[in-house]
Structure 1
Amino acid sequence: MTIIADPVWPVLVLAAIQYVDAAMCARPVDAVRRCLDDVHAPPLVRRLLTPIKLAAGTGLLLGLVVPYLGVLTCAALVAYFAIAVGMHLRARDLRRNFRNAVGLGVLSGLVSLCYL
């Protein structure tokens, strides 16, 4: 198995962030629950967050050996965080969680460069 991404550490960091975030969404901690309440996230969205984040972390790791999958996963994360930014803007919630969504969206785009 040949690892193709270079450097590898940004991919591993973003994958770890996704896995930790998935765990925090599985049984939402107060900060996650407040964030979802602030943006008026519907129940379906709340239920889908954990599997989406688990899939993202797995896609990033599998992308280390199948680069196009890593790039696709990063593109999906950029879209995911763009939606999150939009939800924060719509709710006029420009606090910490808005900045986190912007930062993680940018990070996801930058990590895609590791696969190219």
Structure 2
Amino acid sequence: MLLLPELWWPSTVLALALFADAVLSMRAPRFIRDCLNGVGFPREWWWALIVIKLMAAIGLLAGLAVPGVGIAANIGVVAYFLTAIYAHIRARFLKQEFWLNCLGMLTLAVATLVLSYVPW
């Protein structure tokens, strides 16, 4: 594995997706509220998810120049969405939000990790 990404654009796309998700979560639309309520995540902790996503986006972008930061942030994003998937399965909340949000973002995070940090 590399300490700096081989390609810059996958990390940038993932960072933009996380940033957009965090901004949307500040005034959570119905699909985000349904998702968090569906897994039983306490409303008083929703702010923490916004901070995590913003910090991950910053880490991904910083990792374009600072060795090791981007891969750490990317692995953290993969872990975050694996945890979200576990929460959905445990709560048996496997509606559209699970398939689009959790699995979609996990796919993007894994694709970013592979494209950026696995040498070809």
Scaled by the length of structure 2, the TM-score of the pair is 0.84
Please state if 1:52 is matched with 2:52. yes
Q: Deviations over 1:14-73 (max 9, x none)?
A: 000000000011121222111111111113431201111110110000010013110100
Q: How does 1:51-70 map to 2 (within 5 A)?
A: 51-70=51-70
Cross-structure match for 1:90: 90
Is the CA contact 1:74–1:111 (under 8 Å) kept in the aligned structure 2? yes
Cross-structure match for 1:77: 77
Cross-structure match for 1:21: 21
Deviation of residue 107 (structure 1)? 2.3
Is the CA contact 1:62–1:70 (under 8 Å) kept in the aligned structure 2? yes
CA-based RMSD: 1.6
Segments of 4+ in structure 1 off by > 6 A?
none
Scaled by the length of structure 1, the TM-score of the pair is 0.87
Please state if 1:40 is matched with 2:36. no
Identity fraction in percent? 36
**Partner letter of residue 105 of structure 1?**
L
Matches of 1:110 and 1:68, distance apart in 2: 18
Cross-structure match for 2:111: 110
Tell me the secondary structure at the aligned position of residue 67 of structure 1. coil
Matches of 1:110 and 1:67, distance apart in 2: 19
| Structure 1: unaligned runs, 5 residues or longer | none
